[in-house]
Structure 1
């Protein structure tokens, strides 16, 4: 199914994105090219790791976070059609754009490493036994801890106005909490420097967004779940 066009001038929030589309695309390309250089130049360097294997934290994080990010994009597409509130629509726009770009980078790395985008071991296997969330069972209808269930996704598509705003902010807060835990694990365990840097930027960015969402929920007489 074709995703809605977030660049439609009638629907996009009035604030312009902080970076022009060509700049965002160029940044993603530069990061990918940097990783290509690292993969080509580093194998002979004893201080540099080789290409990650399918069971590595690098591959596991890239696979799972790509799926995790996709749901955040989907939730953001849904809420922008369920409310007229400019602040919520702007936040949804920013989250959709940021996480779609990061998802592209993660999938691009898997392609560069010639690794599959799914694992027979299931989601979060790379985190099990490390004191993170990998040992926790997700709720029924949810692929990973922190992700919305199928029932919650369906409910968001049916409510509107303030109810949709509150539900979206609560779901995204939970979603970000799971994402931050995953990103912290990669920042500690991943071997590829560029991936560790991306993971750390996710931690910082999503923590900032959680603070913003807590304030937005308070303005609506609610709170994170």
Structure 2
């Protein structure tokens, strides 16, 4: 557990350094084509932009995925599930570090007075999570309930059940919760791919869509191996 924790910490540190370099390079390239400080300033996302909203919300979304993955690693000895949990924790801690690094570079707060998902307004997207959490049609407003602030997020009750489960029961619950979590994350990432203006962040969002779709397929296979379906 200690080794995994420090691996995740190192991933976040490296991600912050990568984010700094990526945004600096992006700004430099932009200056070559558009010239002047005013052009660079115009490309810095505003506090209420899709870029800032996605970075804030997905950072919170990712943090829960990391938390769930650490929990299940302590609740099972199955190598396939433990390997998946490690990969998800490492990847999403890394990506979270990148997004928080961008917010620092843009000199924007990491929290917003707006409701979560406000940057998705007008999307009318789904991506409901475990237990029926989802969005409300037009406007893309998400009903936050029992700690589930965004589409796909587990509730506090869900997390408590995961902490109490053991062995195959923990594996199945984790796979169900993480499948819903990934589906919500894919919805958000597609929203950024459509709305975000910073090229590096759009690329990151597209990568999230592809990677999480692949992991959703893997988790469906792991559930099937355990004689379980996506729903209880």
Aligned equivalents of 1:135 and 1:194: distance in 2?
A: 26
Cross-structure match for 1:101:
94
Cross-structure match for 1:212:
218
Aligned equivalents of 1:27 and 1:143: distance in 2?
A: 25
Q: Does 1:32 align with 2:20?
A: yes
Residue 188 of structure 1 is aligned with which of 191, 194, 199?
Answer: 194
Aligned equivalents of 2:106 and 2:18: distance in 1?
A: 17
Is there any run of 5+ residues in structure 1 with no aligned partner, and where?
13-20
Q: RMSD of the alignment, in Å?
A: 2.3
Alignment of 1:1-225 (within 5 A): 4-7=1-4, 29-40=17-28, 42=30, 45=34, 50-132=43-125, 133=135, 134-225=140-231
Aligned equivalents of 2:156 and 2:60: distance in 1?
A: 14
Is there any run of 5+ residues in structure 2 with no aligned partner, and where?
126-134
Tell me the TM-score normalized by structure 2.
Answer: 0.83
Q: Is the contact between residue 169 and residue 213 of structure 1 (CA under 8 Å) also seen in structure 2?
A: yes
Q: Is the contact between residue 146 and residue 157 of structure 2 (CA under 8 Å) also seen in structure 1?
A: no
Q: Is the contact between residue 15 and residue 97 of structure 2 (CA under 8 Å) also seen in structure 1?
A: no
Write the deviation string for residues 74-120 of structure 1: whole angstroms up to 9, x where unpaired: 00000000011111001000000000000000000000000000110
Q: Is the contact between residue 65 and residue 181 of structure 2 (CA under 8 Å) also seen in structure 1?
A: yes
Write the deviation string for residues 17-74 of structure 1: whole angstroms up to 9, x where unpaired: xxxx78x966763443121132355257189851000100000000000000000000
Report runs of 4+ in structure 1 exceeding 4 Å deviation: 24-28, 46-49
Aligned equivalents of 1:63 and 1:51: distance in 2?
A: 15
How far off its partner does 1:123 sit?
0.6
Aligned length: 210
How far off its partner does 1:130 sit?
2.0
How far off its partner does 1:212 sit?
0.1
Q: Is the contact between residue 75 and residue 167 of structure 2 (CA under 8 Å) also seen in structure 1?
A: yes
How far off its partner does 1:165 sit?
0.2
How far off its partner does 1:169 sit?
0.2
Write the deviation string for residues 110-155 of structure 1: whole angstroms up to 9, x where unpaired: 0000000011012111002222243231443311121000000011
Cross-structure match for 1:17:
none
Aligned equivalents of 2:98 and 2:19: distance in 1?
A: 8
Q: Is the contact between residue 19 and residue 101 of structure 2 (CA under 8 Å) also seen in structure 1?
A: no
Q: Is the contact between residue 183 and residue 203 of structure 1 (CA under 8 Å) also seen in structure 2?
A: yes
Aligned equivalents of 2:16 and 2:103: distance in 1?
A: 14
Aligned equivalents of 2:16 and 2:203: distance in 1?
A: 13
